[in-house]
Amino acid sequence: MNKENTRPPIPADLKRRILVEAGHRCAIPQCRSLVGVDIHHIVPWSQCHKHEYANLIALCPNCHRMAHDGTIDRKAQFMYKDKLRLAHDQFSRFEVDFLFDCYRQRGKAVPWPSFLLVLLNRIMELGFVNVQRGNMMMSIGGLDNSPVYLSLSESGMEYVRSVMGA
C-alpha cells in the first residue's frame, strides 16, 4: 500500500484553524463561497505527505477543481493564503466579509442600522467606508436605528483589490 492510500485525516485543530482563517468560506477572494468548503493541499499530498498549516487552504468545490487542474496555480494559491492571513490578522472576519460584500456592490450604498456602526469602527477610522446618514430618526427600544447607507471609499476599494491580488 502506498502513502496516498494511507493518508491520515487532517487533525481537527488544524482543519479548524484553516476554516477559521477563511471564515468558513472559500479563500479565493473573488469567490468567497460558503458552499461545501474543503481543505486543499497547495503542494499535493502525493508530493509532501504532510498536513501543514502553511500548505493548506479552504476552497469551495469549484475553486478546488480549478486548483487541481491548474487554473488557479500554486503560486496564486500561496498568494491568496498570505493575503488572507494578512487580512485576518488586521481585521475581524466580520470586517473582512463586510469589505468584500461591499466591494461586490460596485459602489452601491447598502443600508445599515446606525446602532451597529460600532462593529465597523476600525474600517471606518481607516477611511475604508463612506457613511451617508438618512433623514429619518427612528428608535427601537431606546437604540438609535436611524438609517445609514454604507459604501466602500476609494481606499476601501484599493484595500480589497490588494487582498484580491487584482
Q: Which grid coordinates are listed for 118?
A: 460600532
Q: What is the pLDDT of residues 77-118, one digit of tens each?
A: 999 888 877 766 778 878 888 898 888 888 789 888 888 888
pLDDT higher than 50, residue 1: no
Q: What is the pLDDT of residues 30-87, one digit of tens each?
A: 888 888 999 999 999 999 999 999 999 999 999 999 999 999 999 999 998 888 777 6
Confidence of residue 128 (pLDDT cuts 50, 70, 90): very high
High-pLDDT (> 70) share of the chain, %? 87
Closest CA to 120 of 142, 94, 101, 143: 94
pLDDT higher than 80, residue 21: yes
Which class for 119: exposed (0-12), middle (13-18), buried (19 or more C-beta within 10 A)?
Answer: middle
Instruction: Tell the residue number behind the cell numbers 452601491, with chain if given.
Output: 108
Q: What's this model's pTM, rounded to 2 decimal places? A: 0.59
Pairing type for strands 139-140 and 38-41 reads unpaired
Pairing type for strands 129-133 and 139-140 reads unpaired
> In the chain, what are the domain boundaries?
3-89, 93-164
Per CATH, which fold does 93-164 belong to?
Answer: Arc Repressor Mutant, subunit A (1.10.10)
